[in-house]
Amino acid sequence: MPEPNPATAIDILLDPDATMIQHAKTANTRLLKVFPKGFALDASHAPHITTLMRYVRTRDLDKVFAAASKIFAGLTSMKLKAFKYYF
């Protein structure tokens, strides 16, 4: 019988600053006027930028955290510009 190989879902994301959050909320309000059944941002659904979403072996979580920490430690600032909306 094969050994169990538990996996954990991870989502590595960037939390935007206050300016970007306000722009996202303004755009979301405008989009909901056109498509009312769309996704509304609220306290439980904050704007963010997903950089990686996947399953990893649970036993490898420490390795994933270590690798991600190295990458994010090297980021001191980023300037992002939205150019298109997609849902």
Give the span between the Cα atoms of 81 and 5, in whole angstroms.
40
Is the pLDDT reported for residue 87 higher than 80? Answer: no
**The pLDDT value given to residue 5:** 83
Q: Are 56 and 8 in contact (CB under 8 A)?
A: yes
**What would the pLDDT profile of 55-65 be if each residue is shown by its tens digit?**
999 999 999 99
Amino acid 24 reads: A
Compare 27 and 83 and report the one with higher pLDDT: 27
Task: Give pTM, 2 decimals.
Answer: 0.65
pLDDT, residue 22, reads 92
Question: Tokens in use for 76?
Answer: 């001191």
40 pLDDT exceeds 60? yes
The share of the chain scoring above pLDDT 90, in percent, equals 39
